[in-house]
Amino acid sequence: MPATAGAPFLLRSAAPQLARLGLRAAAAPLLRAALPTTTQRCGARSPAPIAPSYARCFSSSPAPALPASAETQSYRFNHTMIRIKDPKKSLDFYENVLGMTLLDEHDAGDFKLFFLGYQHQEGKSRGEREALLELTWNKGTEDKADFKYHNGNDEPQGFGHLAIAVDDVAEAEKRFDSLGVNFKKRTTDGKMRHIAFILDPDNYWIEIVPAKKSNI
């Protein structure tokens, strides 16, 4: 794989990268199986065998965007949905901790939907907006003491996290602390010091990323 412009780095082995992201080392064999045993080091002119380290060259430079086809140019990422146990706790978190606005809700009898987003797209209909969050409440779950949803990060892993961009992650951390928010990872933890992870009332992970910098 040829080196490209930007800030290339080497994935020396699966386990350290997984640990860097807070993932289990048990997932390393799956990643190894997906990687070739021969690839090209950053700056190398020809492929060189690198097993068993599985080094691979990556770059932070974005790939050139492909032009949208006529069929897909109007497509947009509209929303993602997570299930919640208690709407009072969840709405308080997403509105008052993360600053979202409740844009719409729909009561379907035995369940209720809440659509939240940021007002950067004010004036657009729900269907025209992008990156909304849909909270689905199956009524009665809030009264069940032992009830909880799978957050995607416990075994078996699946869904990972939501992400919110902020101007200053450190200042956001201070604010979250003052509000009693639970953390999964602070900027002082691990090697990725520019991000943090907080937990919502159902223990879904929320990644807090800097709006003007990303070196992932």
Integer Cα distance of 174 and 196 in angstroms: 12
Average of per-residue pLDDT values in the chain: 79
Is pLDDT at 21 greater than 90 in this prediction?
A: no
CATH of 161-210, one of 3.30.1330.10, 1.10.645.10, 3.30.390.30, 3.10.180.10: 3.10.180.10
pLDDT at 123: 73
User: 122 a known binding residue?
Assistant: no
User: 161 a known binding residue?
Assistant: yes
pLDDT at 114: 98
Integer Cα distance of 94 and 103 in angstroms: 12
Catalytic center residues: 207
- Kindly give the residue spans of alpha helices, DSSP state H, lying in 61-168: 87-92
User: 79 a known binding residue?
Assistant: no
Closest CA to 11 of 66, 59, 45: 59
pLDDT in tens, 32-53: 554 444 444 444 444 444 444 3
Phi/psi of residue 172, nearest 5 degrees? -65, -40
Check residues 179 and 47 and name the one with the higher pLDDT: 179
Domain with CATH 3.10.180.10 in the chain: 79-143, 161-210
Contact call for residues 104 and 126 (beta carbons, < 8 A):
yes
pLDDT at 2: 44
Contact call for residues 16 and 3 (beta carbons, < 8 A):
no
pLDDT in tens, 115-164: 999 987 777 766 667 789 999 999 999 999 999 999 999 999 999 999 99
Name the maximum alpha-carbon separation found in the chain. 64
Contact call for residues 11 and 56 (beta carbons, < 8 A):
yes
Is pLDDT at 91 greater than 80 in this prediction?
A: yes
pLDDT in tens, 59-90: 456 666 677 788 998 898 899 999 999 999 99
**Under CATH, to which class is 79-143 assigned?**
alpha beta
pLDDT at 195: 96
